[in-house]
């Protein structure tokens, strides 16, 4: 199963794609079909716990966070942190 959402920021069109995997979900921001962000991941168990605790849909929350990271220009910091790890 795949979910996707498009948005525009600073004149660039982005797509947030959520893909169901064997062990959970992977959310990633794409621009022109190429990964623009690190992957955001949530396991099926954590997503279920998130929902049953009344916090909503974990995949939707990750997709919103991914979009906020682009819109608030947090991506350069994410890339630096990943490179340093």
DSSP codes of every residue in 11-27: TEEEEEEEEE-SSEEEE
Residue (of 46, 47, 26) closest to 37 by Cα position: 26
The reply to whether 82 falls in a domain is no
pLDDT of 75: 78
The count of domains in the chain is 1
The reply to whether 83 falls in a domain is no
pLDDT of 61: 97
All residue ranges of the chain with pLDDT < 50 are none
The reply to whether 84 falls in a domain is no
pLDDT of 81: 67
The reply to whether 26 falls in a domain is yes
pLDDT of 80: 74
pLDDT of 4: 95
Q: Domain span at residue 33?
A: 2-77
pLDDT of 82: 63
The reply to whether 45 falls in a domain is yes
Global confidence as pTM: 0.84
């Amino acid at each position: 199963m795949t979910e996707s959402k498009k948005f525009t920021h600073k004149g660039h069109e982005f797509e947030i794609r959520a893909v169901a995997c064997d062990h959970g979900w992977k959310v990633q921001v794409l621009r022109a079909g190429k990964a623009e962000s690190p992957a955001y991941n949530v396991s099926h168990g954590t997503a279920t716990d998130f929902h049953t605790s009344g916090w909503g849909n974990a995949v939707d929350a990750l997709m919103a966070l991914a979009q906020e990271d682009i819109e608030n220009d947090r991506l350069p910091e994410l890339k630096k942190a990943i490179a340093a790890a």
